[in-house]
Copies of this chain bind each other. A is one copy, B any other.
Amino acid sequence: MSLLTRILSPRSGSSDGPRTLRLGIAGLGTVGASVVRMIARRAEALSAATGCTITVTAVSARDPKRDRGLDLAGITWFDDPVALARSGEVDCVVELVGGSEGAAKEIVEAALAAGKHVVTANKALLAHHGNALAKEAESRGVSLAYEASVAGGIPVIKAIREGLAGNEVSRVYGILNGTCNYILSRMEAEGLTFEACLKDAQALGYAEADPTFDVEGFDTAHKLAILTSLVFGVEIDVEGVSVEGISAIQPLDLTMADELGYRIKLLGVAQATEAGIEQRVHPTMVPKGSAIAQVMGVTNAVTIDADAVKELTLIGPGAGGDATASAVVADIADVAAGLVRPTFGQPVTGLAAPRRVEMQRHEGGYYIRLTVHDRTGVAAGVATRMAEREISIESIVQRRSAKAEAADAKAAANDPRGLSRAPVPLVLITYAATEGNIRAALDAIAADGLLAEAPQLIRIERE
């Protein structure tokens, strides 16, 4: 049978009889437990929708004794998840263990090798091994489904792969990490520092004890790499993502953003350019009136720019047991309905090799916050260095804090020329310029001795 016409009839001899899909679930954390409950709760609806009875026949988790509030009667318990993946009782393996290596990888590889469908929520695994795993799945004629790996409960994989099949996509960008969006939302609303909001996020369970993976943008990069492959028909290239997190964002940046008509969001952006495909994760100024700017707290959002639909935005929960389980169950329903599509929207053998674009070549608007010595001629010096690199300035804001004013007033008696005045922020918004030119101009400004601190640079993303 060819890939796309393969029909799932694991138990029934003929495709006419009632069909059953037997699930083996590896990992019974919040998401796994929610999947088990959802499959039970929605049994009738799922059967009506797919023409197939879906049952959980096997589970595996680290601690067999933990009370998860689940009725596991009649379900086979496996201590070894790889044995579950190979079990003859299982048609479709649901991998919810997580991590790009170790058990998760072994489970998925064993399941595919045994010709079983795989549904996973594991973005790290996909980002690092997606090409090889997709190849294996396609050669076996089985599904490797991963809706839950990107933007949690938002059915963005399905929307792009199927809903936009007629479109050529030019850009996809989104808020893909709820932890970062929660922190930035609170910093903005309450004028708090990154550190204070991170602490709250940890207390609320929105951030890990070691938050690096989320706040430095790596989680977003994994998800973006998956979207890039799907949207542009290229092999996954997570190493090609330029990554910058939110830990350097200061309350002043959020205040200035507000004043200039922007909000700051950590975006993952994949964009087709003449030189190749830009993949970048960084704090981003988005226009306040844009749909994505309204997205607050742990919510995720993805916007797709495409030739026919122009702009499509999906907003929903990016994490949480039930929301993630919703995406997992949607994938399971597709498998149950007999839908086997190529992992990345087209056969993996047809995916193009990635063509990376250096961030130096990125072209866009920039927010630049300089901390300059408060001396005559500084603004002119900055403007000259910008002009040398053909960078046009859209707006410029210089404002002294009340505290600085007070300190200076006190010092004025002994320092009539103002040489001891405190450094002041100088904020510039540029028209489109290349990152290379921006960096070169900033280096020149620093070499001129105009800066009291390293500059803050935030990219602007237009609708």
Q: Which residues of A contact B (CB under 8 A)?
A: 1-5, 7, 9, 15-16, 19, 34, 38-39, 41-42, 45-46, 48-52, 147, 153-155, 158-159, 161-168, 233, 289-291, 294-295, 306-317, 322-323, 325-330, 333-334, 337-339, 341-342, 345-347, 350
Would B310 and A313 count as touching, CB distance under 8 A?
A: no
Contact of A162 among B45, B164, B314, B330 (CB under 8 A): B330
Task: Using A2-B16, A309-B322, A310-B323 as known contacts, say yes or no to A46 and B315 having CB atoms under 8 A apart.
Answer: no
Give A346 to B333 CA distance when docked, in angstroms. Answer: 12
> Nearest 8 A-B pairs (CB), nearest first?
A155-B163, A166-B329, A4-B51, A48-B346, A153-B309, A308-B326, A312-B316, A165-B333
Contact of A159 among B3, B51, B155, B167 (CB under 8 A): B155
Give A322 to B312 CA distance when docked, in angstroms. Answer: 13
Would B325 and A4 count as touching, CB distance under 8 A?
A: no
Contacts of A46 in B (CB 8 A): 165-166
User: A440 to nearest B CB, angstroms?
Assistant: 38
Contact of A51 among B3, B39, B50 (CB under 8 A): B3
Would A162 and B334 count as touching, CB distance under 8 A?
A: yes
Would A15 and B38 count as touching, CB distance under 8 A?
A: no
Would A164 and B155 count as touching, CB distance under 8 A?
A: yes
Would B42 and A165 count as touching, CB distance under 8 A?
A: yes
Would A315 and B313 count as touching, CB distance under 8 A?
A: yes
Give A316 to B312 CA distance when docked, in angstroms. Answer: 5
Most buried by B among A4, A310, A346: A4
Contacts of A350 in B (CB 8 A): 48
Would A338 and B16 count as touching, CB distance under 8 A?
A: no
Give A323 to B310 CA distance when docked, in angstroms. Answer: 8
Contacts of A323 in B (CB 8 A): 308-310
Contacts of A161 in B (CB 8 A): 49
Contact of A5 among B9, B147, B291 (CB under 8 A): B9
Would A4 and B316 count as touching, CB distance under 8 A?
A: no
Give A334 to B337 CA distance when docked, in angstroms. Answer: 13
Give 13 A-B contacts (CB < 8 Å), ordered by A residue: A2-B51, A5-B9, A48-B347, A155-B162, A155-B164, A162-B334, A166-B333, A290-B294, A291-B291, A311-B316, A311-B317, A313-B313, A313-B314
User: A36 to nearest B CB, angstroms?
Assistant: 12
Would B4 and A337 count as touching, CB distance under 8 A?
A: yes
User: A228 to nearest B CB, angstroms?
Assistant: 16
Would A338 and B5 count as touching, CB distance under 8 A?
A: yes
Would B291 and A308 count as touching, CB distance under 8 A?
A: no
User: A198 to nearest B CB, angstroms?
Assistant: 24
Would A163 and B2 count as touching, CB distance under 8 A?
A: no
User: A305 to nearest B CB, angstroms?
Assistant: 11
Contacts of A317 in B (CB 8 A): 309-312
Would B4 and A16 count as touching, CB distance under 8 A?
A: no
Give A341 to B326 CA distance when docked, in angstroms. Answer: 19
Give A341 to B330 CA distance when docked, in angstroms. Answer: 14
Would B158 and A163 count as touching, CB distance under 8 A?
A: yes
Give A4 to B7 CA distance when docked, in angstroms. Answer: 10
Give A46 to B313 CA distance when docked, in angstroms. Answer: 23
Contacts of A307 in B (CB 8 A): 322
Most buried by B among A49, A295, A333: A49
Would A338 and B308 count as touching, CB distance under 8 A?
A: no
Would B45 and A326 count as touching, CB distance under 8 A?
A: no
Give A253 to B147 CA distance when docked, in angstroms. Answer: 43
Give A295 to B165 CA distance when docked, in angstroms. Answer: 24
Would A313 and B312 count as touching, CB distance under 8 A?
A: no
Most buried by B among A19, A50, A52: A50
User: A354 to nearest B CB, angstroms?
Assistant: 18
